[in-house]
Structure 1
């Protein structure tokens, strides 16, 4: 199975003055059927990926490293993390 890291971003209203939206939580989702670049409809923890931003990072391409980008370790989803460790 191919997984894709996705970002759950703050709502647009939370970014004052048009500032870049902050990453609220980092999730991982299986790739959509027939694709290696598009996230499927749900993350591994069950959240809808519709409004999430795809990062292009695929954990299976980085063996031995955390599935999430290190700069976002503090906001990695613990439920997705538990599934990835299995």
Structure 2
């Protein structure tokens, strides 16, 4: 399989604390974790669609790269509960 990029489909912003400037900081958490093929010629950027067919335009790239160890999950362990089942099924092939 070609290079894979892990991307996050984010929830709506959750209000955090108010900064010194008076504007609230917003924190966004992954609603779903997807896998996407890397963009042609850019292994650090996601292609236009995830493996399950969703548009990656509004998604955020995960920090780091998926581990290349055999048997290691392709997604960050802390987000195992929100992994896209369709992307995961394709990654298992």
Q: After the TM superposition, list the runs of 4 or more consecutive aligned residues in structure 1 that deviate by more than 4 angstroms.
A: none
1:22, distance to aligned residue in structure 2 (A): 1.3
* Equivalent position of 1:70 in the other structure: 77
Q: Which ranges in structure 2 are unaligned for 5 or more consecutive residues?
A: 17-24
Query: Could you say which structure has the larger radius of gyration?
Result: 2
SS of equivalent to 1:67: coil
Alignment match of 1:58 (pick from 65, 68, 71)? 65
| Greater helix fraction, Structure 1 or Structure 2 | 1
Alignment length (residue pairs): 84
Q: How does 1:39-58 map to 2 (within 5 A)?
A: 39-58=46-65
1:80, distance to aligned residue in structure 2 (A): 0.1
1:55, distance to aligned residue in structure 2 (A): 1.2
SS of equivalent to 2:43: coil
Superposed CA RMSD in Å reads: 1.5
Flag the 1:6–1:62 CA change in 2: closer, same or farther, 3 A.
farther
Please, what TM-score do these two structures have when normalized by structure 2? 0.81
Please, what TM-score do these two structures have when normalized by structure 1? 0.88
